[in-house]
Structure 1
Amino acid sequence: MTSFLRQLAQARRDGRPVGITSVCSAHPLVMRAAARNAARYSDVLLIEATCNQVNQFGGYTGMLPADFVQLVRRIAAEENLPTDKIILGGDHLGPNPWRSEPAASAMAKAEDMVMAYVDAGFRKIHLDASMGCAGEPAALDDATTAERALRLAKVAEQAARNTGGEMPVYIIGTEVPPPGGAHHVITELEPTSVAAAQQTINVHRDLFRQAGMEDAFSRVIGLVVQPGVEFGNANVVIYDPSKARGLTQLLDREQGLIYEAHSTDYQGRTALRHLVEDGFPILKVGPELTFVLRESLYGLDLIASDLIGDYPPRALFAAMEKLMLEKPGFWQGHYHGSAQEQRVQRQYSYSDRIRYYWNQPQAETAVQQLIDALQGRTVPPTLFRQYLPAFESWSGKPLDPASLLVAAVQRSLDDYRAACTSD
């Protein structure tokens, strides 16, 4: 199915730009929403794991690449989505998880990770070796980045030949700030300069050619740049097409390439469509989907608190706050200000650091208790209007909370699908 991705540049040149949503989440309910939407419309599903989330040591989800693939395929089968409609991507594959180590050991682990991803069936590979390791600058120069990307591509090519099937397609480059959103209030961003984007392409192309890897470079479909979109803890910078006009024009010269737009969360349907039309047809989204999921979970938590006499008030909220305070590693350094300001950010930030906690046993137990408490109950329309007004039509019938949560995520994905289609 990577052929779909390889046709995106041609579609834009033909004047009928189309895009694809890249769902970057390991949450089973988000995956289910994505698979359900893809099955409903007979769409291709692109779902990606990141280097920190899933790797050969388990990442923060505890999943190996093969575990992630198994989970995606199981959910897809349950939603009647054929396997041949699924593209699996690996995002930011490089030394990032081990950048506190010397480059030699970090890159050796990155090579092992890429091999594990490709062995498991991932065929869209983001080669991202732009970050410095121990003793190096935080951001590396283009030549060093390209040399390390080439090392990773060689591993991916060999692994694909060994396992059979399609050869990988590649994304090169990275974006600033790092994945997950900025840590501070941002008012505007300057897109990547045309000269910097061209330099990244040229250096990678030259090194691949010198190494006899022209065939692999022919499968480089896109470049990650900063199009001028980002979100902080409490605000979003919306795409301004006029500021990215130079980047769009570069694609007229580099006709086999498109851009991959990271951090498109919270952009809205109009801005997303402009991105697709301007040469950013791969729209990556993750935190928005788990933000919407959390929003709906907390709405149900409030409904249960008001509807059920023996349900502890805001039980899920309390459980998540307790968990995040006990294990602050995923949010400390990202949230700032007074104790109260940090409390609000822990629960409601656009960067959604709470998403790192949903697979913890305490969180899973609290969510299941909420679902069990509401399962089969009839919720008055007035409570839906108070806490989840978009779901008022769900009143008057036995509630299936899990289906409501999936439907909430589907609503966000509908905006992405509308932006990606040429209708």
Structure 2
Amino acid sequence: MAINPLHDIAQWRTRKSGIRGIPSVCSAHPLVIEASMLRAMEADSLLLVEATCNQVNQEGGYTGMKPSDFRLFVEKIAKKVFFPLEKLILGGDHLGPNPWKHLPADDAMGRAAAMIEAYAKAGFAKLHLDTSMGCAGEPVALSDEMTAQRAARLASVAERAIEGSQAVLPVYVIGTEVPIPGGAMEELDILEVTSPEAAVETVEIHRKAFRDAGVENAFSRVIAAVVQPGVEFGNHNVIAYAPETAKALSASLARLPGMVFEAHSTDYQTPEALRQLVDDGFAILKVGPGLTFALREALYGLDAIASFLNPSARAQTLMETAEQVMIQKPENWNKYYKGSREELLIQRHFSYSDRIRYYWPQPEMTHSVEELFAFFEGQEIPETLISQYLNGLYPQVRSRKSGNSPKELVLASIQRVLDDYFMACEI
């Protein structure tokens, strides 16, 4: 079997050149994936793309894709932009009972087992085992021992799924202090950083659980633990990384040979904070909503330009279509956003949590974006309007580092965010 390129990630910090960490692109949006591939090619770097348990699972998830479908979807984009498949790593994020936690544990874990089997058979090379949440009738958060036992069960399923195949042996990520997918549900003020003792104990409890389950070999491929370094975002605010508060946690990696930490919810951190996270051993930087937030910013900027140039050209603006769809189908935001009518309007469109990302695959939204792009066919967008409505991209357009077609502007908006991640991971 081929060697998993992430297997020796703990040794990357000793390199004199190359990369010390890796961004983890958690998105199923085709333009986000395309922008990520273009940026990775520019850096001549590996690209890690992860699908979450809610986006992609054996039942289709909210994208309608199973793991094998997601692989074909990503590889199709790679072929279009000439991205080398040997540099593509697919990962599964939050693999566990989360999509079915409203069910009894046996049922939820049975479905989680079927999900991770599908991910493993589809050749996903990085598997994040997340069994930290309680199911129906259980506490919201489980004990470390129960979490580890369930994680080991899922690892056993994944290992059996690839027996006799030529698939790359997967690496695993474990942890019990795991943020929920997509950011916090409440307003945040301060976060408690994982204690060094808790991080080390969690790893040792998982080591024992894997041994008891007969999958010691799988544990030898556990490359990271998810911990809380003190970064998160809510609907309205971002908790910035404070290195001094995570100093002891970072130092605990000396007691965890062959491992790094995986930092979730790093969206909206500054370039300096991202680089410091990598310096401190948080070598896997997860980002998702921050990328679709940049996508939405660019699309709404183009929407405003089109409305200024010809207010009657379209029956509805993209923003009006988005509002209509979200009101008609509120299930992806109404449990997460709170406040007055005006506050809910702002959150639906401009929240850091970016729950509008769940709606881009909807046919009405797809059609509206296509209609917006078609509006600009055969005409050049004036630089002055880019300055007014897409100001962050104006310097790149003026310097000719970016074209000014709608798609080029959207890709450039996403890549501005990706730049911070790739640069943070480079020596």
After TM superposition, the score normalised by the length of structure 2 is 0.95
Distance 1:169 1:280 in 2: 16
By how many angstroms is 1:2 displaced?
6.2
1:347 paired to 2:349: yes
Aligned position for 2:332: 330
In structure 2, distance between residues paired with 1:257 and 1:15: 19
Counterpart amino acid of 1:408? Answer: S
Q: State the partner residue of 2:26.
A: 24
The equivalent residue for 1:222 is 224
State the identity as a percent: 53
Is 1:82 aligned to 2:87, yes or no? no
For residue 215 of structure 2, what is the aligned residue in structure 1? 213
Q: 1:421 to 1:14 in 2, by over 3 A?
A: closer
Give the aligned partner of residue 285 of structure 1: 287
Note the C-alpha offset of 1:162.
3.9
1:287 aligned partner, one-letter code: P
In structure 2, list runs of 5 or more residues that go unmatched: none
Structure 1: gaps of 5 or more residues: none
Pairwise CA RMSD:
1.9
Match among 316, 319, 343 for residue 318 of structure 2: 316
Deviation at residue 391 of structure 1 after TM alignment: 3.2
The answer to whether the 8 A contact 2:127-2:171 is kept is yes
Compared CA separation, residues 370 and 104, structure 1 to 2 (3 A): same
Deviations 1:369-401 (A, max 9, x none): 101001231122221111012333647999521
Q: Which of 182, 203, 206 lines up with 2:205 in the alignment?
A: 203
For the 8 Å contact 1:23–1:284, the answer to whether it is kept is yes
Structure 2 Cα separation of the partners of residues 266 and 7 of structure 1: 28
Contact 1:25 1:48 in 2 (8 A): yes
- Cα deviation digits, residues 274-300 of structure 1 (max 9, x gap): 000101010000000000000000000
Instruction: Tell me which residue corresponds to 1:12.
Output: 13
1:39 maps to 2:41? yes
Among residues 390, 411, 416, which one is paired with 1:406 in the alignment?
Answer: 411
Q: Does 1:127 align with 2:129?
A: yes
Indicate the larger mover: 374-383 or 245-254. Answer: 374-383
Task: Please state whether the residue corresponding to 1:23 is helix, strand or coil.
Answer: strand
Distance in 2 between the 1:11 and 1:141 partners?
32
CA contact (8 A) 2:200 2:255 kept: no
Contact 1:375 1:401 in 2 (8 A): no
Q: Distance in 2 between matches of 1:2 and 1:79?
A: 25
CA distance in 2, matches of 1:313, 1:295: 21
Match of 2:71 in 1: 69
* Shift of residue 170, structure 1, vs aligned partner: 0.1
Q: Over residues 100-157 of structure 1, what are the superposed CA-to-partner deviations in whole Å (9 max), with x where a residue is unaligned? A: 1111111111111001011111010011111111111111101111111111001111
Structure 1 pair 30/174, CA: closer, same or farther in 2 (3 Å)?
A: farther
Q: Can you list the C-alpha shifts for 1:56-106, whole angstroms capped at 9, x where unaligned?
A: 010011111111100111111111111110100000101111111111111
3-state SS in 2 of match to 1:180: coil
**Residue 136 (str. 1) matches residue 141 (str. 2):** no
Q: CA deviation at 1:10?
A: 1.5
Give the deviation of 1:14 after TM superposition: 6.2
Deviation at 1:366, TM superposition (A): 0.7
- Distance change >3 Å, CA 89–CA 176, structure 1 → 2: closer
Deviations 1:154-201 (A, max 9, x none): 111111224322111000014454121112221221111122212211
State the SS of the aligned residue for 1:222: strand
Question: Which residue, out of 371, 396, 401, partners 2:373?
Answer: 371
Which range moves more in the overlay, 223-232 or 246-255?
246-255
Classify the secondary structure of the residue corresponding to 2:163: helix
Q: CA deviation at 1:221?
A: 0.2
Question: Residue 181 of structure 2 corresponds to which residue in structure 1?
Answer: 179
| Maintained 8 Å contact 1:161/1:167 | no
Return closer, same or farther for 1:78/1:339 CA change in 2, 3 Å cut-off: same
Match of residue 423 from structure 2 = 418
Once residues 164 and 31 of structure 2 are traced to their aligned partners in structure 1, the CA distance between those partners, rounded to angstroms, is: 33
Q: Which amino acid aligns with 1:353?
A: R
Residues 2, 123 of structure 1: 8 Å contact kept: no
For residue 257 of structure 1, the aligned residue among 252, 259, 262 is 259
Corresponding residue SS for 1:375 = coil
Residues 275 and 371 of structure 1, relative CA distance in 2, 3 Å threshold: same
From the superposition, tell whether residues 6 and 369 of structure 1 become closer, same or farther in structure 2 (CA, over 3 Å): same
For residues 143 and 234 of structure 2, the distance between their equivalents in structure 1, rounded to whole angstroms, comes to 26
Instruction: Say whether the 8 Å CA contact 1:101–1:134 is kept in structure 2.
Output: yes
CA distance 1:247–1:398, change in 2 (3 Å): closer
SS in 2 for 1:221: strand
Secondary structure, counterpart of 2:169 in structure 1: coil
3-state SS of 1:182 partner: coil
Change (3 A) 1:92 1:102: same
Question: Does structure 2 retain, via aligned residues, the 8 Å contact 1:174–1:224?
Answer: yes
Q: CA separation of 1:303/1:7 partners in 2, compared to 1, >3 Å: closer, same or farther?
A: same
Letter in 2 for 1:258: V
2:123–2:168 Cα contact (<8 Å) kept: no
Tell me, in whole angstroms, the C-alpha distance in 2 between the residues paired with 1:407 and 1:313.
28
**One-letter identity of the residue aligned with 2:324:** K
2:290–2:352 Cα contact (<8 Å) kept: yes
Moved more, 175-184 or 153-162: 175-184
Q: Is the 8 A contact 1:305 1:314 kept in 2?
A: no
Would you say the 8 A contact 1:24–1:285 is kept in 2? Answer: yes
Aligned length: 422
SS of equivalent to 2:223? strand
- Find the aligned partners of 2:415 and 2:49 in 1 and give their Cα distance: 14
Distance 1:307 1:385 in 2: 15
